Amino acid sequence: MPIVYHEEDSNISILQDKIVGILGYGSLGRPVALNLQDSGVKLQVGVHNLDRQAVALADGLPPLPIEQVVKNTDILLMLLPDEVMPQVYIEKISPYLHKAHTLIFASGYNIAFGFIEPPPFVDVGLIAPRTFGDAVRERYLSGEGFYSCVAAGQDASGHLWDTILALAKAIGSLRAGAVEVTIEQETELDLFMQQAILPAVHHVLTTAANLLLARGYPPEAAMMDLYISGELNDYLSRAAIHGLLHALQSSSLTAQFGTLSRLERFNESKMARLMEVTLDEIRNETFARDWAREYTGGYPRLQKLVRQQEKLDLWELEKQTIELLRGEED
């Protein structure tokens, strides 16, 4: 049975004498830094790009070169893009690591696939938020918190869990809860969501939109009904709190009959097989090798795939619908 940690499981005061280094000030780095700053944690931020340096400075966090932050701090939060991180680690982080360092990752990717192999004398842990960076900040400020996966890689000091839980509390995750997993499990689950669930959802919604448009439904009405109204989010939010079956049973009897009587129709054995193949490719490192090649080559396939998607007529209709419904501010 996995362990779930909450605020009472953590002692934030152990961070009092420590300086935390934030390496990377992007989608997750900035929200995490702001949350830690508001929790009273002493920080230094390593930022390489001039625009982001200005943002960090405006946030009251004077940016420093990454090497400097590694030298000055005790705990390093590794908040660089996963595909970029191994090179930055070799050039700017590993030469300056010492015995008292703790490396905390927000994704197990580089450790699980062996792209980064920290020396045995440092602690290695994981706090991987299960939401977007923006929500990490918003839910800290609202007091709601956010779920995360936490894992211990190597515990050289014997105090790794104290550090992980203190940081998870200071970031705001333990107000919701953190689930203990292994670094490999976190990595595989995260990639599985990205590679099996999101493509299926994308495919279902675009297929449905194209069908409805081909059958002459007004584009704005069709796009709104499918996902722009937020009804689907509300359904999933209810499922997240009370369960998938409860969400279904909270719907009208017409909806329940319609869903359950047609469920079997979508019970494609091919889909289960595709999910299995996708998971196998993640676990046997086929995807990690593909992605490393893609990064080294300058993302040629990713760029081509994005261009193909951008050409779909649907996005113009989606844009018009959003503008029509939400007005100019979005």
Ligand X SMILES: NC(=O)c1ccc[n+]([C@@H]2O[C@H](COP(=O)([O-])OP(=O)(O)OC[C@H]3O[C@@H](n4cnc5c(N)ncnc54)[C@H](OP(=O)(O)O)[C@@H]3O)[C@@H](O)[C@H]2O)c1
Residues that bind ligand X (CB under 6 A): 24-29, 48-49, 52, 79-82, 84, 88, 106-107, 128-129, 132-133
* Crossing angle of helices 160-171 and 29-38, rounded to 10°: 90
Complex with ligand X: residue 65 or 218, whichever CB lies closer: 65
Complex with ligand X: residue 76 or 223, whichever CB lies closer: 76
Complex with ligand X: residue 88 or 183, whichever CB lies closer: 88
The closest alpha carbon to 232, from 247, 220, 254, 253, belongs to 247
Give the integer Cα–Cα distance in Å for 168 and 14. Answer: 12
Complex with ligand X: residue 28 or 222, whichever CB lies closer: 28
The beta strands (E) that lie in 133-222 are given as 147-154, 177-180
HSE at residue 118, side-chain half, CA atoms within 13 A, is 28
Cβ(139)–Cβ(145) below 8 Å: yes
Complex with ligand X: residue 22 or 223, whichever CB lies closer: 22
Q: Tell me how many helices (H) and strands (E) the chain has.
A: 17, 9
> What's the closest the beta carbon of residue 318 comes to ligand X, in angstroms?
22
> What's the closest the beta carbon of residue 323 comes to ligand X, in angstroms?
26
> What's the closest the beta carbon of residue 267 comes to ligand X, in angstroms?
32
Give the integer Cα–Cα distance in Å for 93 and 76. Answer: 9
> What's the closest the beta carbon of residue 13 comes to ligand X, in angstroms?
26
Complex with ligand X: residue 132 or 315, whichever CB lies closer: 132
Complex with ligand X: residue 94 or 210, whichever CB lies closer: 94
> What's the closest the beta carbon of residue 325 comes to ligand X, in angstroms?
26
> What's the closest the beta carbon of residue 253 comes to ligand X, in angstroms?
39
For the chain, the straight-line distance linking the first and the last C-alpha, in angstroms and rounded, comes to 43
Give the integer Cα–Cα distance in Å for 326 and 328. Answer: 7
Give the integer Cα–Cα distance in Å for 91 and 128. Answer: 24
Cβ(302)–Cβ(294) below 8 Å: yes
> What's the closest the beta carbon of residue 213 comes to ligand X, in angstroms?
32
- Locus of tokens 């440092």: 122
Indicate the residue whose CB is closest to ligand X: 26
